Amino acid sequence: MIKTAIIEDSQALRSVYKTFLKDSDFDIKVYNSTISDINRLIKQGGFKLIVCPCFPKFQDGPQIIQNIKSDPDLTNAVFIVSTSMQQENVRSEWDLRDIDTILIKPFDQERLKRTLLKTYYPHPQRKRETPLALVIDDSKAVRNTLASYLKALKYDTKTASDGMQGLKIASDILPDLILVDVEMPVMNGFEFCKKLSEKPGIKNIPTIVISGTIDEAQFRKGFNAGAIDFLEKPVSQPTLATIIESVSVKENTNSAGTTVILSKDSTLSSILRKTLNFLNSSINICTTLSELETYLCVTLPDIVILDLTDSEDKLNVCLHVRNLLGIDSPVIIAVADETDRDIMFQCFKYGATEFIIKPFGRDEVKARIENHIKLKTLQDELVQKNRILESLAYKDKLTGLMNRRYLDKALEDEISKVQSNNTNISFLMIDLDNFKRVNDAYGHDTGDAVLKEVASIILNNVHGNAIPCRYGGEEFCIIYPNTDLATAVKNSEKIKRFCSANPISKYRIFQTISGGVSSFPETSSPENLVADADNCLYKAKEAGKNRIIANFVDPDKTV
């Protein structure tokens, strides 16, 4: 089962998710977008897949993912954004590096499951335990020799004596690799590669051509036919092992993410797809610039490959794509013919990261891409770490609640909303009664346990868009947006009762709390909202502790 968190504020959609994913591969928990619910999500942890609306009701979407991914347990969770808006506008709201895919609403049950599974398993391994190679050669001796080499390299093999037979077998068994001889009757190796590239089900199988002579003419023929590499006769096992090592996808390797190729040339697209096998990357093909534009609106790939061969304005294609991607853009590789060599260096000025001249070999492409990918990976890791540090700056490490720094910012934002929308806001200040005695009697470790348990009680008893924070020391507070004073007091009393009724730690400490509540515009000005709550807290302490006092109440009475 895939542990999945669904963040959704619409009750109707929450029901849809629960119904559609019932008895499926997904073990789902549903949350709304409030700070308290997102904190619960983080506290529960262990989620591998998270679905969030593009525009959550209670928080900024990118802030939600930043908070979630700041937790070490959830840093690598797969993140899907659901939206019914125009796709090209998603980019304006989100940093697409944070999104693994888009779920377009409305969706049916099958599309929901397919999207979730495809995103969670972007590179599903074949069900066969041992990879399978197809050897095509008219010489039985060569077939047997290659089969023995492959067996030593942990491959199962099937063989064919000519290209026609090889095409049929390839369609039937879908091998992981094909070795084909150039010189054969009925259909030679180049013709086989060409035919293979025309068949959708098998055109992307890595194909290596075996030849007695490898010269420039042979290389061009092989490239134009769709082969990704050559083996020169007589074939040695070490040479074969080296090539297989570089063309095969390894299990349990990290994916390089997503590669998108812009090309009208299906043979070139097929060659690139097979050549980039070493990346273990999800590869997408766009045949027109407008198709690429749409794709880039909702996805930020790691690599963009632009086939400029048929472009009339080659340099401006690079520039246009770079502008679409923005500053934080991926590796852009321009591909062109030798006749375009004179403009290729200018591509760097117009946004390209690298360029490749056709025809090219697999080793050349691999070498040119690997260094860029390593550099980009380091840059992305640095960005992610900076984001985590920024998020942690707003969190209290001990309790997991938001801290004083976050409180100041959130309170300012919420008061601005109240003033703009003519609503109200209430504020609760909490202090643990006689907490110094706990530390003195049982030690600071027990004191920390008490603080964490009180924070947990607060978190479990706030609802809607309430914002619980640790104010400092043994003081906590809660912002209650769109909440009148009476409702805030009622919820505060509930928290007080839970605190005093639950024994904490092995010492069974019944920790009581005192609190003060204020409200704007009912009883306080924006400037005095916190001070008024703090003053009521002081009165609660003076009146005997373990009580909540609000600033519309006689200070000698409890609410």
> Is a pLDDT exceeding 60 seen at residue 256?
no
Kindly state whether residues 233 and 313 are assigned to the same domain: no
Same domain, 17 and 115: yes
Residues 416-436: tens digit of each pLDDT: 999 998 899 999 999 999 999
Say if residue 551's pLDDT is above 70. yes
Give residue 220's pLDDT.
84
CA distance 380 to 303: 13
Distances (CA, A) of 253 to 109, 123, 241: 31, 10, 19
- pLDDT for 559 beyond 80: no
The answer to whether 499 touches 511, Cβ cutoff 8 Å, is yes
Query: Which residues of 217-299 form beta strands (DSSP E)?
Result: 229-232, 258-262, 282-286
CB atoms under 10 Å from CB of 87, counted, come to: 14
Q: Return d(Cα 393, Cα 408) in angstroms, integer.
A: 13
Does residue 532 belong to any structural domain of this protein?
yes
The string of pLDDT tens digits covering residues 189-218 is 999 998 888 887 788 788 889 988 887 888
How confident is the model over 108-116, as a mean pLDDT? 86
Does the pLDDT value for residue 96 go beyond 80? no
Say if residue 496's pLDDT is above 70.
yes
Domain-ending residue, one of 67, 97, 120: 120
Assess whether 67 and 97 both reside in one domain: yes
CATH number at residue 474: 3.30.70.270
Number of domains in the chain: 4
Q: How many CB atoms lie within 10 A of CB 63?
A: 15
- What is the pLDDT, as a whole number, of residue 123? 44
Tell me the C-alpha distance between 469 and 448, whole Å. 16
Q: What is the DSSP string of 2-65?
A: EEEEEE---HHHHHHHHHHTTTSSEEEEEE-SSHHHHHHHHHH---SEEEEESS-SSS-HHHHH
As a whole number, the mean pLDDT across the chain is 85
Task: Please indicate whether residue 361 or residue 471 has the higher confidence score (pLDDT).
Answer: 471
Please give the share of the chain, as a percent, with pLDDT higher than 90: 39
Q: Which domain holds residue 181?
A: 132-247
Q: Is pLDDT at 498 greater than 90 in this prediction?
A: yes
Question: Is residue 323 in a domain?
Answer: yes
Burial of 170 (0-12, 13-18, 19+ CB in 10 A): buried
User: Do residues 225 and 102 both lie within one domain?
Assistant: no
Nearest to 477 by CA among 526, 531, 436, 527: 531
Q: 391 lies in a domain?
A: no
Kindly indicate the confidence band of residue 271, based on its pLDDT and cuts at 50, 70 and 90.
Answer: confident
Give me the mean pLDDT over the 161-188 stretch.
Answer: 90
List, in sequence order, the alpha helices (H) in 335-361.
Answer: 341-344
Dist CA 545 CA 329 (whole Å):
57
Is residue 78's pLDDT more than 80?
Answer: yes
What gap in Å lies between CA 553 and CA 502, rounded to an integer? 28
pLDDT class for 281, splitting at 50, 70, 90?
A: low
Please check whether residue 393 lies inside any domain of the structure: no
Q: What is the pLDDT of residue 538?
A: 95
pTM recorded for the entire structure:
0.56
Final residue of a structural domain among 70, 97, 120 = 120
Alpha-carbon separation of residue 50 from 100, 101, 193 (angstroms): 10, 11, 42
Question: Do 44 and 181 share a structural domain?
Answer: no
pLDDT at 85 over 90: no
- The residues, ordered by sequence, that sit 6+ positions from 412 with a Cβ below 8 Å of its Cβ are none
Regarding whether 241 and 143 lie in a shared domain, the answer is: yes
In a domain, 556, yes or no: no
| 205 and 320 fall within a common domain | no
Q: Taking the CA atoms of 368, 371, 374 and 378 in sequence, report the sign of the dihedral they define.
A: negative
Mean pLDDT to the nearest integer, 333-347:
82
Co-location of 59 and 191 in the same domain: no
Which of 218, 307, 202 shows the shortest CA–CA distance to 264? 307
26-35, 83-92, 411-420, 486-495: least confidently modelled range: 83-92
Amino acid residing at 225: A
Could you tell me how far CA 246 lies from the centroid of its own chain? 27
Pairing relation of β-strands 132-136 and 229-232? Answer: unpaired
Q: Does residue 287 share a domain with residue 410?
A: no
Find out whether 468 and 401 touch, Cβ atoms under 8 Å: yes
For 358-367, how does the pLDDT look when each residue is reduced to its tens digit (9 = 90+)? Answer: 888 777 787 7
How open is the CA angle 183-188-193, to the nearest 5 degrees? 125
pLDDT of residue 147: 93
Q: Are residues 56 and 149 in the same domain?
A: no
- The reported pLDDT for the residue numbered 558 is 43
Is there a single domain that holds both residue 512 and residue 424?
yes
What pLDDT, on the 0 to 100 scale, is given for residue 345?
78
CATH code at 34? 3.40.50.2300
* End position of a domain, from candidates 352, 382, 412: 382
**The two structure tokens encoding residue 401:** 């609640």
Residue 398 lies in a domain: no
Q: Which residues pair with 475 in a beta bridge?
A: 431, 472
Which of 274-278, 300-304, 524-528 has the weakest average pLDDT?
Answer: 274-278
Residue 392 belongs to a domain? no
Of 549 and 328, which is predicted with more confidence? Answer: 549
What strand order describes the sheet that includes 207-211?
156-160, 132-136, 177-181, 207-211, 229-232
Tell whether 241 and 264 lie within a shared domain.
no
| Contact (Cβ atoms closer than 8 angstroms) between residue 271 and residue 228 | yes
Mean pLDDT (whole number) for 286-302: 79
| Candidate ranges 114-123, 268-277, 290-299; pick with highest mean pLDDT | 268-277
Tokens encoding 132: 């399978």
Cβ burial 316-341 (10 Å sphere, 16+ → b, else e)? ebbebbbebbeeebbbbbbbbeeebe
